[in-house]
Chains A and B, each alone.
Chain A
Amino acid sequence: MAIGRTGPGVARVIEGRKSRFLLGALVLAHLVAISRQVEGEGGVSLLERGLWSVLIPPQRVVASAIQGVKGVWTGYAGLRGARDENRRLQDRVRGLETQLQATQQQIGEASRLREVLELRPILPFPTMAAQVIAREGVPWFRNLTIGKGQKDGVALNAAVLGVGGVLGRVVAVGPTAAKVQLLLDRDCGVGVRIERTRTTAVVSGQVAFSDSGTSELLMKYVPVLADVVVGDVVVTSGLDQIYPKGLVVGRVRSVGKGSGLFKEVAVQPSANFEKIEEVMVATSPPAPTVMTESVR
């Protein structure tokens, strides 16, 4: 009888001990896993690669399904204003053709000038298009997953571009997918220069809280005496050896006094981070930027 009365209590104690033991084991395992994370091929641990190969296919299906639904809806909505849109586009095409002719003339001229000045030519770099199969699902990081990986030629640290400008870089590559860290991520940094004055600096992630809804970038290490005004175009400098130089990052939105030797400069990114469905990934690393210039 005594055993019968104490049975459930004893069972509860044993169950409690078991769960505490499990808690201890799980916490320990996580601490070891986090502390000893060794990056494998493509910046991804073996475990992460394994999990990715399981998680990517269903996510790809979801992305395709949503793209399909969006496509049908866009097609329907597009039909409604198609005639006006068509007329407007034809006018725009005529304008762009004229612009293109002018640009081609300028390119030819610039190319000839480069040859004359014996400067290293700035070549366009090869890129590939990739579909975004997932966006960040947590408030603490800014990244996205694209549906192309090592098998397609995506390399670690490859620059990723979108409509309007630079989006970020590849931080982890799996066989068929890759994770892209966006410029908005607090851990992201890009070597930039102000196009007008050639002042170099570093642009990094968000200024405000994650939930503030702003998508501003912070421009660091801009000297107090530097000539920076609102509206200045910010482009990549190429000094970080990740992003090819000359890509548009954004425009200076505000210039503050800051503290110490540097100004506080906020940059409005030119890329629209909220509506990314396809991106362009650079398939070859940028040529190393020469830090010194020969004096003629």
Chain B
Amino acid sequence: MRVFWTVLALLVAFLLQSALTHVVPQQARMVDLFVLVLVYCGLVGGETHAMLAGAAGGWVQDVQFGGGVVGLSGLTKVLVGFGVGLSGTRFQLTEPGARVLVLFAASLVDALIFERLASAFDVRIETLSLGGLLTRSTLNAALGGVIFFYVDRHLARRRHP
């Protein structure tokens, strides 16, 4: 069942990301819905779950939105997923504030690792400025915070109607 929900979440992320690129192309580039999915998986299901969700999401992102080398986002998100999953099992990260912080950090680390990996594999990319990195992370954190809140509320209602 967990696999089903994860695949569904990744599919929704993919379709929403595609739709955003048509509606607000400039802003869509700064939102990474796959990071939100992997962070949620990491906080709820641990590092294994987050790594697998991250790998799948990263590959979709590479094929559909990335450049010439497939696997860079996949590798990035495996590493970020491991970090988030580990944090989720080591620390108490159930409060909304803590989750937003994790989302912010995960988005920031995701961008930094991706840029370092691209440089290591000699893939020419446009880099984000410090302001851009912070904007992207803040945007993802805010969006993820709201989505996590509603998902948790929905799940709680289903458990205790």
Contacts and interface: CB of A to CB of B under 8 A. Distances in A.
A141 B28 contact: no
Given A19-B46, A19-B82, A34-B121, A187 B21 contact: no
Range, interface on chain A: 35 or more
B114 A66 contact: no
B51 interface: yes
B14 interface: yes
A141 B85 contact: no
Given A34-B121, A66-B22, A52 B63 contact: yes
A293 interface: no
Interface string B22-34: 1101101110100
Contacts of A274: 25-26
Interface of A: 15, 18-19, 22-23, 26-27, 30-31, 33-35, 37, 45, 47-48, 51-52, 55, 58-59, 62-63, 66, 133-143, 145, 171-172, 181, 185-187, 205-206, 209-213, 274
A79 to B, nearest CB: 22
Contacts of B48: 15, 18-19, 22
A141 B125 contact: yes
Contact of B30 (A33, A135, A211): A211
A51 B65 CA distance: 12
B40 interface: no
A66 B28 CA distance: 15
B132 A139 contact: yes
Contact of B63 (A35, A55, A187): A55
A218 to B, nearest CB: 12
A34 B70 contact: yes
A30 B58 CA distance: 11
Which of B32, B51, B131: most chain A Cβ within 10 A? B51
Contacts of A62: 15, 18-19, 22
Contact of B65 (A18, A141, A181, A205): A141
A23 B78 contact: yes
Contact of B22 (A22, A135, A142): A135
B71 A48 contact: no
The listed residue with most A CB atoms (<10 A of its CB), out of B30, B61, B66, is: B66
B6 interface: no
Contacts of B30: 139, 211
B144 interface: no
B97 to A, nearest CB: 26
Contact of A134 (B23, B55, B65, B126): B65
A210 B128 contact: yes
B20 interface: yes
A205 B21 contact: no
